[in-house]
């Protein structure tokens, strides 16, 4: 079939992604430079009326291309101001512009859409835009972004964002980014947020609720929280050490990579906290007044370095997010007077050893990318590396890794090469044993 006779979306690159785990998400024919989202949302009826303007650059000649968008209804599509043919089904918005787009050209896609947003359902449950008892929570890792805006849904296509969201005035609206303006209308408030650091679509988030905004911690980094009145007491105790946690993680990893950090405590129970760019969301069940879940507070903050500023090029490399955030838990424990990193390493090495050796950390497979073994063995890999290269070199390695790849995408191979610069000898055997083979290596010597 020739390109001229092909259906909408059938040209090379139209639907292809380079991510082997989620090949149906993303498009390889262009890179997004900027998203401008204008959202009007009615909380009670869960109705969204929206316009998205996507500015992109073609990385190949395009007669057709696609965006990822789930079950919302598309009313109109324009490319560079001209009406475009489109077909929207099975989570793909396939677009045929009036004129082909040349290699290297910058173009704008305008999509008017709306309806009742619902999460994307799949092997990880419901992901994306989700109604709360009274409000909204958006948690999109790894493939939930199309539940609320048309996007190139791949982790390596990072772009800047401007999000304008109008909702009823009793509700507080938080979007990942810096608050640019807030305008009161007749019963509604329009909130405008800007995210000018390159951001993967899955790391954009919207939180809507009847929240009070409070200071999370003082210090050089602005740290705020959005909470409901009923959790204030437990929150003040459970998050009391957040300023210290920020200071410790900055010492280990280098400066916090964004201008502010926002913690949202939803007035619903959540299975797990979730991170977004410059934000983390907890359920009210993660507060108990006893700091039972403080390790999760550390874990989510650590993702701002590992996952958000440094984002995996594709989901095979998920240990670069989760192994590092898990090791941050162990580092904070030792720094704050709790069990040492050695103690945690010994505990979790025994835990891993008691389970079948069936996972390869560097490529766990799509069904097991969020397996606890990836988290714990990833952290143990870092512990083994620390034992091999020594304290000074290890932390210099981490800080330079963060600094050199700030707001970019990373791979396991890049990390291996980077670590090699700080070692007296080859690290091939260490990384092969810990990352490429299912068998669990012996616990490294005590540091």
The arithmetic mean of pLDDT across residues 276-288, rounded, is 97
Which of the four pLDDT bands, split at 50, 70 and 90, describes residue 170? very high
- Residue 151 located in a structural domain: yes
Task: Give domain status of residue 443, yes or no.
Answer: no
- Assess whether 200 and 217 both reside in one domain: no
Task: Tell me the C-alpha distance between 125 and 234, whole Å.
Answer: 29
**447 domain residue, yes or no:** no
- Has residue 26 got a pLDDT over 90? yes
Residue 444 — very low, low, confident or very high, per pLDDT cuts 50/70/90?
Answer: confident
Q: Tell me what pLDDT residue 72 has.
A: 98
52-71 per-position pLDDT tens digit: 999 999 999 999 999 999 99
**Distance between CA 63 and CA 199 in Å, rounded?**
27
Q: Quick one: 251 and 161 in the same domain?
A: no
Tokens of 198: 């390159």
Domain containing 124: what range? 3-209
What's the structural domain count of the chain?
A: 3
Both 243 and 280 in one domain: the answer is yes
Domain identity same for 157 and 292: no
Q: Which token pair is 83?
A: 């009406």
Clarify whether residues 18 and 154 are in a common domain: yes
What are the pLDDT digits (tens) for 321-371?
A: 999 999 999 999 999 999 999 999 999 999 999 999 999 999 999 999 999
Cβ–Cβ < 8 Å for 377, 323: yes
- 128-162 pLDDT, tens digit per residue, is 999 999 999 999 999 999 999 999 999 999 999 99
Residues 174 and 33 reside in one and the same domain = yes
pLDDT at 307 over 50: yes
Asked whether residue 192 falls in the same domain as residue 226, the answer is: no
Question: Same domain, yes or no, for 181 and 36?
Answer: yes
For 228, 234, 384, the CA distances from 285, given in Å and listed in that order, are 13, 11, 34
pTM (2 d.p.): 0.95
User: Each residue of 387-411: pLDDT tens digit?
Assistant: 999 999 999 999 999 999 999 999 9
Rounded to the nearest angstrom, the gap between the alpha carbon of residue 397 and the centroid of all alpha carbons in its chain is 23
Does a structural domain hold residue 445? no
User: Is residue 442 a part of any domain in this protein?
Assistant: no
Residue 5 has pLDDT above 80, yes or no: no
With 0-12 CB in 10 A as exposed, 13-18 as middle and 19+ as buried, what is 185? exposed
Domain boundary among 209, 243, 273: 209
Q: Are residues 56 and 127 in the same domain?
A: yes
Last residue of a domain, one of 168, 189, 209: 209
Residue 137 lies in a domain: yes
Residue 41 resides in a domain:
yes
Distance set, CA 136 to CA 119, 211, 281 (Å): 11, 12, 12
Cα-Cα-Cα-Cα torsion 403, 281, 36, 20, nearest 10 degrees, comes to 70
Instruction: Give percent of the chain above pLDDT 70.
Output: 96
Question: Distance (Å, rounded) from C-alpha 102 to C-alpha 30?
Answer: 11
Residues 359 and 274 in one domain: no
Provide the mean pLDDT of the chain.
94
Does one domain contain both 221 and 335?
no
Give mean pLDDT, residues 433-439. Answer: 98
pLDDT at 100: 97
Q: Are 144 and 138 in contact (CB under 8 A)?
A: yes
User: Which of 173, 191, 209 lies at the terminal end of a domain, its last residue?
Assistant: 209
The rounded distance, in Å, linking the Cα atoms of 425 and 422 is 9
For 221-245, write each residue's pLDDT tens digit. Answer: 999 999 999 999 999 999 999 999 9
Give the CATH number, domain containing residue 164: 2.60.40.1730
What's the pLDDT band for 446 if we cut at 50, 70, 90?
low
Looking at residue 3, what is its pLDDT? 30
What's the whole-number mean pLDDT along residues 48-52? Answer: 98
Confidence category of residue 19, pLDDT binned at 50, 70, 90: confident
Residue 191 binned pLDDT confidence (cut-offs 50, 70, 90): very high
Tell me, what CATH number does 403's domain have?
Answer: 1.10.390.10
- Tell me if 397 is assigned to some domain: yes
Q: Are residues 146 and 286 in the same domain?
A: no
């Amino acid at each position: 079939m020739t390109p001229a006779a092909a259906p909408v979306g059938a040209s090379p690159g139209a639907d292809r992604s380079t991510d082997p785990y989620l090949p149906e998400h993303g498009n390889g024919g262009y890179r997004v430079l900027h998203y401008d989202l204008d959202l009007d949302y009615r909380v009670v009826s869960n109705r969204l009326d929206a316009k998205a303007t996507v500015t992109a650059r073609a990385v190949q000649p395009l007669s057709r291309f696609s965006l990822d968008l789930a079950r919302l209804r598309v009313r109109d599509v324009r490319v560079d101001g001209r009406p475009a043919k489109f077909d929207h089904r099975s989570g793909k918005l396939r677009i045929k512009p009036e004129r082909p787009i040349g290699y290297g050209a910058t173009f704008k896609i305008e999509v008017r859409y709306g309806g009742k947003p619902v999460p994307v359902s799949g092997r990880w449950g419901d992901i994306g835009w989700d109604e709360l008892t009274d409000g909204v929570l958006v948690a999109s890792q790894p493939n939930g972004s199309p539940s609320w805006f048309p996007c190139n849904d791949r982790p390596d296509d990072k772009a800047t964002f401007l999000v304008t969201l109008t909702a009823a005035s009793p509700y507080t609206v938080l979007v990942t980014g810096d608050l640019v303006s807030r305008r009161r209308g007749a019963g509604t408030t329009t909130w405008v947020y800007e995210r000018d650091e390159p951001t993967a679509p899955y790391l954009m988030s919207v939180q809507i609720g009847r929240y009070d905004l409070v200071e999370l911690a003082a210090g050089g980094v602005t740290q705020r929280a959005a909470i409901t009145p009923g959790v204030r007491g437990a929150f003040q105790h459970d998050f009391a050490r957040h300023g210290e946690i920020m200071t410790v993680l900055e010492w280990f990893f280098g400066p916090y990579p964004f201008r502010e950090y926002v913690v949202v405590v939803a007035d619903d129970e959540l299975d797990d906290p979730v991170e977004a760019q410059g934000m983390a969301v907890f359920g009210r069940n993660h507060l108990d007044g006893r700091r039972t879940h403080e390790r999760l507070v550390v874990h989510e903050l650590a993702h701002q370095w590992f996952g958000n500023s440094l984002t995996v090029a594709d989901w095979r490399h998920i240990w670069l997010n989760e192994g590092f955030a898990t090791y941050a838990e162990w580092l904070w424990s030792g720094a704050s007077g709790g069990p040492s990193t050695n103690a945690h390493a010994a505990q979790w090495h025994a835990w891993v050893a008691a389970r079948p050796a069936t996972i390869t950390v560097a490529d766990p497979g799509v069904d097991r990318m969020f397996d606890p073994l990836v988290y714990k063995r990833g952290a143990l890999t870092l512990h083994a590396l620390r034992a091999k290269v020594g304290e000074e070199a290890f932390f210099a390695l981490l800080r330079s890794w963060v600094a050199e790849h700030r707001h970019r995408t990373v791979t396991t191979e890049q990390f291996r090469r980077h670590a090699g610069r700080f070692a007296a000898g080859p690290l091939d055997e260490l990384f092969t044993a810990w990352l490429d083979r299912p068998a669990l290596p012996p616990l490294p010597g005590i540091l």
